[in-house]
């Protein structure tokens, strides 16, 4: 099989090693005469697999036993509702930094719960930039400060975190850049990440939450299935979990661990991003980056052709040359290359070469 250069935004590229291992182990798991997908979620094998995944994730994040890792369904979008229901109230609203489309969706869902305040926004820039830390204004009695660390659609990424008081926990939607670079994850009270970018295929969301926030979430007026303490008390097995997706996350986390340190991954991802940004910036105006230069993402490279009439031709030729998933999001347009951890550096080099060749042929 000739593997395509996969730049899909999510579901996204998976390492061939992970796919091969999954194929080999899918039919029979642990010499049990059946697939893991056929086993009861109460079986020792599944319980052990979930616990191993939890330990792997917390270990890679460098977090201690003050934190719990939960595995939940519904994607990051479900967490847009879970977080305010569990941790905010009208008297103590969640505060949100609006830096992109998904950050705004999280805020609007919290507004439905009557428990949200916009602490800063860059919507006036068309989401091309991230609000400056100095512009963040916390409401009195803020329950938390929610930030999206990487804006997948627009291609912007947070570089630093604000200093907030100890009683205002930071909450991070890290769906598209978790484990992609060195980061002080202990600065957060809660992190959530849907799997389909850097943690595996779609189907499960990792929620990493400090134990004091689990205690805060024990609200009697919330149905049990929508409470963090329920999932914590039942080791993410309160109801039937997405067993296959959690197992695939485990395989992906093992692959991530085997790549080396977060510094190694961060340096590799920076090189990958530079290959593409350099090709865009050196095009003499043929291409134009969408995100503000100081906020450019290392995970989602967004750009457009100055002559938009060439976009369809670009995408068609890219497809013929083995490149997948380069169309920009419908709300932004243009082009986008998502270069998560599993995207090889060679794929980025090949795309950079194609970008330069397209300029030579059409510039």
Mean pLDDT of 140-144: 95
pLDDT at 115: 86
**For 161-190, what is the mean pLDDT?**
96
239 assigned to a ligand binding site? yes
The neighbour count for residue 299, using CB atoms within 10 Å, is 28
State residue 203's pLDDT score. Answer: 98
Token pair of 342 as six digits:
């599993």
Q: How far apart are CA 208 and CA 63, in angstroms?
A: 9
Tell me the per-residue pLDDT of 236-276, one tens digit each, with 9 for 90 and over: 999 999 999 999 999 999 999 999 999 999 999 999 999 99
All structural domains of the chain, each given as residue ranges with its CATH number in brackets, are: 16-258 (3.40.640.10), 262-362 (3.90.1150.10)
Annotated binding residue 240: yes
> Which pLDDT belongs to residue 145?
98
110-138 per-position pLDDT tens digit: 999 888 999 999 999 999 999 999 999 99
Query: Is 102 assigned a ligand-binding role in the annotation?
Result: yes
Residue given tokens 């060749």 in the structure block: 357
| Whether the predicted pLDDT of 166 surpasses 90 | no
Whether residue 30 has pLDDT greater than 90: no
Q: How many helices (H) and strands (E) does the chain have?
A: 10, 14
**Among residues of the chain, what percentage have pLDDT more than 90?**
95
Averaged pLDDT for residues 24-46:
92
Query: Reading across the β-sheet that carries 67-72, which strands appear in turn?
Result: 67-72, 205-210, 188-194, 170-173, 144-148, 94-98, 116-121
Q: What is the pLDDT of residues 219-243, one digit of tens each?
A: 878 999 999 999 999 999 999 999 9
- 304-350: pLDDT as tens digits: 999 999 999 999 999 999 999 999 999 999 999 999 999 999 999 99
pLDDT at 175 over 90: yes
pLDDT at residue 165 tops 90: no
* Mean pLDDT for the stretch of residues 62-88: 98
> Which of 2, 1, 4 has the alpha carbon at shortest distance from 354?
4
pLDDT class of 174 with cuts at 50, 70, 90: very high
| Residue 3: per-residue pLDDT | 95
Does the annotation place 196 within a ligand binding site? yes
Q: What is the mean pLDDT of the chain?
A: 97
Q: Is the pLDDT of residue 101 over 90?
A: yes
Distance, CA of 97 to CA of 74 (rounded, Å) = 23
Angle, CA of 50, 67 and 221, to the nearest 5°: 90
pLDDT range class, residue 161, cuts 50, 70, 90? very high
Q: What is the pLDDT of residues 196-213, one digit of tens each?
A: 999 999 999 999 999 999
Can you give the pLDDT at residue 114? Answer: 83
Beta strands in the chain (DSSP E): 5-6, 67-72, 94-98, 116-121, 144-148, 150-151, 156-157, 170-173, 188-194, 205-210, 287-289, 300-305, 323-324, 335-338
């Amino acid at each position: 099989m000739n593997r395509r250069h996969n730049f899909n935004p999510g579901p996204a590229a998976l390492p061939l090693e992970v796919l091969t291992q999954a194929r080999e182990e899918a039919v029979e798991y642990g010499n049990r005469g059946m697939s893991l997908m056929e086993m009861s979620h109460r079986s020792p094998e599944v319980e052990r697999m979930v616990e191993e995944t939890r330990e792997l994730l917390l270990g890679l994040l460098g977090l201690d036993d003050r934190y719990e890792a939960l595995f939940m369904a519904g994607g990051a979008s479900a967490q847009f509702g879970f977080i305010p229901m569990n941790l905010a109230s009208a008297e103590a609203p969640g505060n949100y930094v609006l830096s992109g489309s998904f950050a705004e969706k999280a805020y609007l869902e919290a507004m439905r719960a009557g428990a949200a305040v916009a602490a800063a926004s860059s919507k006036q820039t068309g989401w091309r930039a991230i609000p400056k830390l100095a512009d963040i204004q916390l409401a009195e009695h803020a329950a938390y400060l929610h930030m999206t660390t990487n804006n997948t659609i627009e291609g912007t990424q947070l570089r630093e975190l604000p200093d907030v008081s100890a009683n205002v926990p930071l909450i991070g939607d890290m769906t598209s850049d978790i484990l992609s670079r060195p980061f002080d994850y202990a600065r957060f009270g809660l992190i959530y990440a849907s799997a389909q970018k850097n943690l595996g295929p779609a189907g499960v969301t990792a929620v990493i939450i400090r134990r004091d926030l689990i205690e805060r979430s024990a609200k009697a007026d919330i149905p049990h299935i929508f409470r963090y303490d329920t999932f914590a008390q039942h080791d993410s097995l309160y109801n039937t979990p997405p067993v296959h997706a959690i197992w695939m996350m485990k395989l992906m986390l093992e692959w991530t661990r085997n790549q080396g340190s977060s510094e190694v991954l961060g340096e590799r991802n920076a090189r990958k991003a530079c290959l593409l940004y350099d090709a865009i910036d050196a095009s003499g105006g043929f291409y134009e980056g969408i995100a503000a230069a100081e906020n450019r993402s290392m995970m989602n490279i967004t750009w457009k052709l100055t002559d938009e009439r060439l976009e369809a031709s670009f995408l068609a030729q890219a497809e013929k040359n083995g490149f997948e998933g380069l169309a920009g999001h419908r709300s932004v347009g243009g082009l986008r290359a998502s270069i998560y951890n599993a995207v090889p550096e060679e794929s980025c080099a090949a795309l950079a070469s194609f970008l330069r060749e397209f300029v030579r042929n059409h510039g």
